[in-house]
Amino acid sequence: MTSKLDVVIMAAGKGTRMKSSLPKVLHTLAGKALVRHVVDTAQQLEARHTIVITGHGADQVEAALKAAYAEGGLKFARQMPQLGTGHAVQQAVPHLPDDGVVVVLSGDVPLTQTDTLQALVQACGGDKLALLTIEFDDPTGYGRIVRSPSGQVHAIVEHKDANEAQRAIREVYSGIMAVPAKRLKAWLARLDNKNAQQEYYLTDVVKFAEAEGVPVVAHKITDAAQVAGVNSPAQLADLERAYQQRRAQALMMDGVRIMDPARFDVRGELVCAQDVQIDVNCIFEGRVQLGQGVKVGANCVLANCVIEAGAVIHPFTHIDGEKLGVTVGEGALIGPFARLRPGAQLGAEVHIGNFVEVKNSTLAKGAKANHLAYLGDATVGERVNYGAGSITANYDGANKHRTVIEADVHIGSNCVLVAPVTIGAGGTVGGGSTITKSTEPGALSVARGKQVSIANWQRPTKNK
Find the catalytic residue in 27, 37, 371, 401: 371
CB 12 within 8 A of CB 54: yes
Q: Which value, to the nearest 10 degrees, does the dihedral of the CA atoms of residues 151, 154, 155, 161 take?
A: -80
User: Rounded to 5 degrees, what are φ and ψ at 393?
Assistant: -85, 90
CB 167 within 8 A of CB 144: yes
CA-to-CA separations, 228 to 43, 114, 144, in angstroms, rounded: 20, 15, 16
DSSP states along 95-119 = G--TTSEEEEEETT-TT--HHHHHH
Left, alpha or beta for 206 (phi > 0: left; psi -120 to 50: alpha)?
A: alpha
Sign of CA dihedral 86, 89, 93, 94: positive
Active-site annotation holds for 371: yes
Rounded Cα distance, 353 and 333, in Å: 8
Give the closest residue to 28 by CA, choosing from 273, 285, 370.
285
Q: What are 369-372's contacts with CB under 8 Å, separation 24+? A: none
Catalytic sites, residue numbers: 371
